[in-house]
Amino acid sequence: MSWPLHISPVDAVVVLLYFCAVSWIAWRSSQHQKSARGFLIGEREIPWWAAMLSIIGTEISALTFVGVPAYAYAKTGNFSYLMGGVGMIFARMIVAKWFVPAYYRYDVVSIYEFLERRFGPWTRNLAVLIFMFTRVAMSGVRLYAGSIIVAEAVGVSYSAAIIITAAIATVYTILGGIRSVIWTEVMQVCVMFGGALAAACILYNAMPDGWHSIAQATAGMDKFRLVDTTFSFTSSEHEFSIWSALIGLTIFNLSIFGTDYDMVQRMLTTNDAKHSARAVVTSALADVPIATLFLSIGIMLFAYYSYFPDPTLPMDNGEVIAKKVFPHFILTQIPHGLVGLVVAGILSVALSSFQSALNALSASFTVDVYRRHLVRSAPDHHYVQATRLATVGFAVLLTMVAFLSAPVKNLLILGLEIPSYTYCALLGVFLVGILTRRGTDRSCALAMLLTIPFVLFVLHQWMGLAWTWNAFFGTAFSVSVALTLGWSRRFQEDA
């Protein structure tokens, strides 16, 4: 009888044990479920360190596990990607200083409640729509990235892998809400990091002469360049320059960690703003060594296959498919037992980011749409059930987007580009609401409506701006429109 999986029976047992552990954690978390508030923000009883690991698990998706090594493996890939970490740290310090205290001060369950209290219903409604559209698109791409290794390991088609991953994550999310998501993410991050570290060690030990072999294979390719001082608004080759990091990517990360409920929801689960701020900042500091690890894996993969050419590497029109190189190495070169650990690590990040997106989307739908517009007064258990049903609905949407992402070659850049077109509109009105006393419901709603086409058609299509600058100019435009129209009597609420 033939073994149907591409991994060995030993590795399959390792993966099975991982799933048993995650299932137990999810079940235990569900036992503490008391109310709709607990389902959505965990009754604000989550320790800051668990929230920190959950933030890492949410942002470091399968897109990171597959996409960052693929980026570094490509001929033009180098360590300048780490400059994004500079912008990430600056952005989260701003979030910790101004955004988190504002959300706790208003005691919101959904951050878009803040916009209604500060401006009005139109601003909140439009912000919710922008968040849901963007998060569905982003997380659908991440789901496809995770399905690549699942398909290779399990020996099924990409379509089946997408459905399997989505189904498992949906069950875990329905079981225990945000509490279940966070505590499973804590384990998933640990397994992910352990699997990636094991793969890196095996790659390094496989080099004929250690570091010298890596340096020789990459000689003249500038792969270890960390600081790119080129200043360009339009060049895609310099999208991670020091200028993009300090300016463009700081604002980009501020838009993600300040206005995306998928990220902010974790910040709202600790007992106060101080612990939330600690979780946000420490997660940014942890991202730098994690990104370094995955970049190193990509460069070592390039060196490894330079010394040991493999005719079975996934190819397309005579060109190696970079996004499939790391999964191929895992399944062909890593010893049995450790393959199970690495596969479990990739499954961890695939499930973690998908669970997180499902929980945030369904929570926002329940708080911002269902409870406000459909059923305004019902028992707590009714809203918990509504959230669970919404989870299934969003799982279907994300699965559809994952199918549409299959033809994309550079998944990492696509996953980053999508929010750069829309979240700057949200960031503009959040900044107006948190840092000023200006702006009105009408002016902020119109600012968001105008900003997205401005970014897509003026900045991207007409000016050809690199995606790393979209957030900076888009946010400036959004703030300008909200403040300028807010001063006009035509846009005053009592006019």
- Predicted TM-score (pTM) of the model is 0.84
Where is pLDDT greater, at 405 or 178? 405
> pLDDT tier at 44 (50, 70, 90 boundaries)?
confident
pLDDT at 477: 97
pLDDT at 110: 84
Flag whether 304 is in a domain.
Answer: yes
pLDDT at 495: 39
> pLDDT tier at 442 (50, 70, 90 boundaries)?
very high
> pLDDT tier at 114 (50, 70, 90 boundaries)?
very high
pLDDT at 4: 45
CATH number at residue 158: 1.20.1730.10
Flag whether 468 is in a domain.
Answer: no
Domain span including residue 374: 9-410
Which single residue is written with the structure tokens 């009883």?
45
Flag whether 449 is in a domain.
Answer: no
pLDDT tens profile 127-140: 999 999 999 998 88
Flag whether 466 is in a domain.
Answer: no
Number of domains in the chain: 1
> pLDDT tier at 287 (50, 70, 90 boundaries)?
confident
Flag whether 490 is in a domain.
Answer: no
Flag whether 79 is in a domain.
Answer: yes
Of 10-24, 86-100, 136-150, 189-203, highest mean pLDDT: 86-100
* Residues 6 or more apart whose Cβ sits within 8 Å of residue 128: 110, 112, 364, 368, 369
Flag whether 230 is in a domain.
Answer: yes
Where is pLDDT greater, at 90 or 324? 90
Cβ 77 vs Cβ 298: under 8 Å: yes
Proportion of the chain above pLDDT 90, given as a percent: 33
Flag whether 102 is in a domain.
Answer: yes
What does each C-alpha distance from 46 to 41, 53, 97, 265 come to in angstroms? Answer: 9, 11, 20, 12
Where is pLDDT greater, at 435 or 188? 435
pLDDT tens profile 474-485: 999 999 999 998
pLDDT tens profile 445-469: 999 999 999 999 998 888 888 888 9
Of 289, 312, 311, 308, the C-alpha closest to 300 is 308
Residue 98 has pLDDT above 90, yes or no: yes
Where is pLDDT greater, at 145 or 365? 365
For residue 24, the number of C-alpha atoms closer than 13 Å in the C-beta half-sphere is 7
> pLDDT tier at 432 (50, 70, 90 boundaries)?
very high
- CA–CA dist 154, 142 (Å, integer): 19
pLDDT at 93: 94
pLDDT at 428: 97
Cβ 157 vs Cβ 151: under 8 Å: yes
